Structure 1
Amino acid sequence: MNVVPDTSAIIDGRVSDRIEDGTYEGATIVVPEAVTGELEAQANDGVDAGWDGLEELQRLAGLADEGTIELKYVGTRPEGSQKGAAEEGEIDALIRDVAGEYDATLLTSDVVQAEVAKAKGIEVDYVEPVTRGVVEELPIVDMFTEDTMSVHLKTDTVPKAKRGALGEMRYEEIADEPTSEAQMDEWATNIVNLARQSSDGFVELSNDGMTIVQYQDYRIAVARPPAADGIEITAVRPIAKTTLDDYEFADELRERFLESQRGVLISGSPGAGKSTFAQAVAEFLNDNDYAVKTMEKPRDLQVGPEITQYGALGGDMANTADSLLLVRPDYTIYDEVRKTEDFEVFSDMRMAGVGMVGVVHASRAIDALQRLVGRVELGMIPQIVDTVVYIEAGEVDTVYDVTTEVKVPEGLTAEDLARPVIQVVDFETGKPAYEIYTFNKQVVTVPIGAEDGESSETGVSRIAKKEIEREIRSVARGHVDVELQGQEEAIVYVDEDDISYVIGKGGGRITDIEDRLGIDIDVRTHEERPSGAGGAGGSGGGGSGEGQVGEGRGKVVEPEVTSQHVVIPMDEHVGETVEVRADGEYLFTATVGRGGEVQVSRGSAIAEELEDAIDRKAQITVVPARG
């Protein structure tokens, strides 16, 4: 009698079992080299099944030495391409060929292999696969107390756990001695086998060195070398189940979800309670007759049986999204939205008309929205996300409304600076908290007004100051200081040698900068910087301070007093430094701006002197300053 065992029968030890019970006594056991090669490859990869199979081959060799059986190794070893295609049945086909060639009985624990062999006319001895290492209960369940959120185990370290109420978690040791490698290996093996065999669990992800399983309400990550430097087990479970009524703004949020399908981002730091809130939203929507599905990787939301939980089809959430569009849910809960492809899938489904609720890691509420910037077109953000909910310590901390409007951004006044602006409005106060728009070809997120602990300088002013410095430093060779004068004006102090470079020929360079930023800029030297008083200067030039009196009577000018400036018109000397005098007496030095004028900010000491001279009918003259 010839018997050809396949890989599954060798691994399960069913050949030696059959010999010992007398079924195959005196038989010739024909082992295909394809089996040997597959077991060797598994053992080299650190797979326990490979070692189990090699031990069975050693037992068969011992039985052959005793004369109980005859043992032969036949056929060819599988090539590299065949090993890689083992799951497609290439190695099984080689084993069947050997069984057919030797007119042997094929012994297998693989039901598919058995059925294919029968179809090919091969005699088959099918035996049930052996289930090894399966326990009836999660081996680390005793480490979880009522307030334990997660347990953290690693070889040669003391077991630890996160325990306490949401927002008050403690990371503490829960044992006295480190865990041995043998114990960690036993726990890891039993956890994975339990998830595979139990109807309460499944394997979510299985890669070399990393396995993620879901068993009941426990999500467990098992890491092994080479992915980790030792065996590590991290088990997490939710410690609270809530309803939407348990949160602040419950009435408003209920109304918001029910009035129309929404795009919502639930944000917060790890362990803040984001997923718990997402579960409450999912249950609320389901109870109100909405078709609700989830997209999760891994699947660990604790929702009712009516809500189907979808993983990544073929490892890609885009495939899941394509399938869900055929299922036509009213709302989809997307847990976790992290990578660019996640945001793209979220956006595509939202634009297809599906209500979307995404869970996002963020340290502030606005950070969740900013993660969309650069991943989708700026103008599309309010259509994709209209609500941001920030969770902190298990509570709803902040809710933002997200809308868009064509307007002049807060802090700017020139009407020609109007542009599409995303307004982020505090749901509780109804007041804008942030604006997001394109500023000088960059997308900026600007807080409206000062935040706690910040200066009174507005967000747009801070950004404007930074942009002014960047523009001026690109042409100035020396030190640059920027002083903001309200929302529309700024004074730039540079080295005297840099004045002409900054202003440019005919004031062209400073004009370009002003047009881009929408801010009038006066350029002055550092020596002209007053202490404790406003300065003087042109739109593109000006100054105050001590200077030498120029020669000659100079050109007589007629200054004009406006609401904010004293303006001295000039039709020449653009970009040049001049001295301003009253009845021949020196007042100040200034640089003529690109518009052919010198402007002095009213309220400054210099402006007051100039206005006094005008009031007493003094003759105002301008002469070129000495070099």
Structure 2
Amino acid sequence: MLDKSSLLQGISRYVERNMINGSFLIHRALLRQLEEESRQGLVTSDIALEEINRLKELSERYLFPVEIVGSPGGSVEQELRDYCAERGCELLTADEVQRKVSEILGIKVKFLEPLMEPLTIEKFFDGSTMSVHLKEDAVPKAKKGRPGDWEFIVLQDSPLSSQEIKKIVSEILNSIRWMKGSFIEIERKGSTIVQLSNYRIVITRPPLSDGWEITATRPVAKKKLEEYSLNPELIRRLESRAEGILIAGSPGMGKTTFAQALAEHYMKLGKIVKTIESPRDMHLPPDITQYSKNYAEIGELHDILLLSRPDYTVYDEMRNDEDFRLYIDLRLAGIGMIGVVHATTPIDAIHRFLNRVDLGTIPGILDTVLFINKGSVEKVYSLEMTVKVPEGLREADLARPVVQIKDFLNDKVEYEIYVFGEQTMIVPVGRLSLNTVENRISRAITSVIPGATVKSERGEYVVEIPKGEISKFNRKVNSKLRRIEKKHGVKIRIKLQDEESQE
């Protein structure tokens, strides 16, 4: 009697090698389950049905019987065990739990030991391969190189057929039971995500995709924090002050690799480190516990982490409101957090927090932002709260709480975040400094009145125009200056170079 695990293990391979023989029984309850799950888009059930077809083909070739028995009933596992108990047949399984329960009930059971064979998917990888992309009716391709410096390579000239793709999928699913650190992370309608030792594999099938597809990724290199050649000041900050860390960067630039290195560095410093991943694809020492968001509710992870009190939690691949809320809650509870987010610029990563928290709490949640590009740390921001007149505004009564975003290495303010009216503003200070405003006023006036000058006096800008050119100061020039006033919140006064004259 076959169960689902024996089909996924590839029972036909054992028959071909003459390792198992006899009559094979397939219970109608199992067929019904596989049919329902296959209609729901579960890849595992589709592969199991394919395996039944292969077994029937072998039965015609080698002349052994394959029978459909029983009737659909309740629990499939219970139906299989009851049938075997009544008829005295042997239950064939690759599921350790099924074997233990059957033995306890006194049911004859045969356990399928795994066939240790090389996987087809591994043949597509070499030392420089980052990912392999396989799709039916398309030639297999691979990304080779390193983060930020890779090329797309065609692996063979002939396209893969649907049957070849399904065979590779079957091998992957068969290998989960015997390869250490392997499991099905997520199985949804039309897609399955598998962690197969060091490989993260995404399998999709119709109707979700227009054909069977496999995308397999593998870390090319595992780096230590020392290999990033970080500034000693940054190392000291990470070790002593940074507790709300954000690692940002575009896809494939090495964010997760850096997060791994940072997690291991904290572990070596004697810190308790845990991770939240979806799926789990970091490769970390056993001392670091890795939690899967797919196997627990957010509330459960929240409780576990608060009760276990880690010094740092690495939250890989933060995507939705739920992820950001958990990061924020744990950080406000005093747990050191390291978040990994997709962003094309470091300021974009900070922007994703603005509509989720009050402005005043941001520096308590985020204190260090590291932007990863092409596998290295390209930019580091620190965040501080102060009360001041925002850059570009001139009136003293406009002072307000301002979050300053500084380049950590030179301590220069690059952005300011503050509330103006009801809108939260992110202002690039470097491009809207006083000198820049002064330059814009100068360009607006000297393009028409070349002899005019601009200077700052007592909190306002004074435009001095020569007597001989005052006739050129027309309505158009005046409108430009008033627009600059309104845009940057400054005051502009006009006077003659020899005689003050307020316009």
**Cα distance in 2 between the residues matched to 1:444 and 1:536:** 23
2:110 aligned with 1:127:
yes
Match of 1:91 in 2: 76
Of the candidates 449, 455, 459, which is equivalent to residue 430 of structure 2? 449
**Residues 199-598 of structure 1: pairs in structure 2 closer than 5 A:** 199-260=180-241, 262-312=243-293, 314-450=295-431, 456-457=436-437, 530-532=475-477
Tell me, yes or no, if structure 1 residue 185 matches structure 2 residue 184.
Answer: no
CA shift in 2, pair 1:489/1:228, >3 Å:
farther
Write the letter of the residue equivalent to 2:111: E
**Aligned partner letter, 2:33:** E
The answer as to whether partners of 1:244 and 1:281 remain within 8 angstroms in 2 is yes
Q: Output the aligned Cα RMSD.
A: 4.2
Higher helix share: 2
* Structure 1 residues 43 and 260: alpha-carbon distance in aligned structure 2, compared to 1, 3 A threshold: closer
Deviation at residue 108 of structure 1 after TM alignment: 2.3
Identity of aligned residues (%): 36
Contact 2:128 2:146 in 1 (8 A): yes
2:33 corresponding residue in structure 1: 38
Q: 1:7, 1:395 → 2: CA distance?
A: 49
Aligned-partner SS, 2:216:
strand
Whether contact under 8 Å (1:312, 1:319) holds in the other structure is no
- Alpha-carbon deviation of 1:364? 0.8
Distance of 2:224 and 2:304 partners within structure 1: 29
Residues 604 and 147 (structure 1), Cα distance of their counterparts in 2 relative to 1, 3 Å cut: farther
In structure 1, what is the Cα distance between the partners aligned to 2:145 and 2:293? Answer: 32
Letter in 2 for 1:163: K
* Contact preservation (8 Å) 1:413, 1:488: yes
Q: In the alignment, is the contact (CA less than 8 A) between 1:6 and 1:106 conserved in 2?
A: no
Look up the match of 1:50.
49
Query: Do the aligned partners of 1:311 and 1:320 also contact (CA within 8 Å) in 2?
Result: no
Q: Could you list the per-position Cα deviations for residues 351-394 of structure 1 after superposition, in whole angstroms to 9, with x for gaps in the alignment? A: 12111111111111111111111122222111111000111122
**1:329 offset after TM fit, Å?**
1.4
Question: In the aligned structure 2, how far is the partner of 1:57 from the partner of 1:139?
Answer: 24
Distance of 1:30 and 1:610 partners within structure 2: 101
Q: Give the secondary structure class of the aligned counterpart of 1:346.
A: helix
Instruction: Give the alignment's TM-score, normalised by structure 1.
Output: 0.62
SS in 2 for 1:286: helix
How far 1:319 moved relative to its partner? Answer: 2.6
Q: 2:92 aligns with which of 104, 109, 121?
A: 109
Q: Secondary structure at the match of 1:197?
A: coil
Equivalent position of 1:494 in the other structure = none
Following superposition, the deviation at residue 144 of structure 1 comes to 2.5
Q: Quote the Cα distance in structure 2 between the aligned partners of 1:249 and 1:126.
A: 58
Q: Structure 2 stretches of 5 or more lacking a match?
A: 442-454, 462-472, 486-490
Say whether residues 1:602 and 2:485 are aligned partners: no
SS at 1:230 equivalent: coil
Q: 1:315 to 1:254 in 2, by over 3 A?
A: same
For residues 361 and 343 of structure 2, what CA distance do their matches in structure 1 show? Answer: 21
Matched residue, 2:132: 151
1:61 to partner: Cα distance: 12
The one-character-per-residue Cα deviations of 1:204-254 (angstroms, maximum 9, x if unpaired) are 222232222223322222222222111212122222332222334341222
Give the superposition deviation at 1:182.
2.1
Distance 1:114 1:257, change over 3 A: closer
Structure 2 CA distance, aligned partners of 1:215 and 1:427? 39
- Deviation at 1:435? 0.7
Contact 2:180–2:197 (Cα < 8 Å) also in 1: no
Relative to structure 1, the CA distance from residue 34 to residue 203 in structure 2 (aligned partners, 3 Å threshold; closer, same or farther) is closer
Counterpart code for 2:494: R
Cα distance in 1, alignment partners of residues 259 and 132 from structure 2 = 23
- Say which SS state the counterpart of residue 177 (structure 2) adopts: helix
TM-score, L = length of structure 2: 0.76
Displacement of 1:290: 1.1
- d(CA) in 1 for partners of 2:226, 2:6: 58
8 Å contact 2:494–2:501 — kept in the other structure?
no
Once residues 352 and 130 of structure 1 are traced to their aligned partners in structure 2, the CA distance between those partners, rounded to angstroms, is 48
SS at match of 1:164: strand
Query: Structure 1 stretch 198-207 or stretch 368-377: which is displaced more?
Result: 198-207
Whether the 8 Å contact between 2:242 and 2:367 is mirrored in structure 1 is no
Q: Unmatched 5+ residue regions in structure 1?
A: 83-89, 462-484, 491-527, 541-563, 566-600, 612-627
Paired residue type of 2:92? S
Residue 354 of structure 2 aligns to a residue whose secondary structure is: coil
* 3-state SS of 1:371 partner: helix
**Alpha-carbon distance, 1:344 to partner:** 0.9
282 and 448 in structure 1: CA distance in 2 versus 1, 3 angstrom threshold: same
- Aligned residue number for residue 625 of structure 1: none
Aligned to 1:615: none
Which amino acid in the other structure matches residue 37 of structure 1? R
Once residues 228 and 283 of structure 2 are traced to their aligned partners in structure 1, the CA distance between those partners, rounded to angstroms, is 18
In structure 2, relative to structure 1, the CA distance for the partners of 1:152 and 1:535 (3 Å cut) is: closer
1:8 deviates by: 5.2
Structure-1 separation of matches of 2:22 and 2:130: 53
Shift of 1:71: 8.1
Check the 8 A contact 2:242/2:368 in 1, yes or no.
no
The residue aligned with 1:511 is none
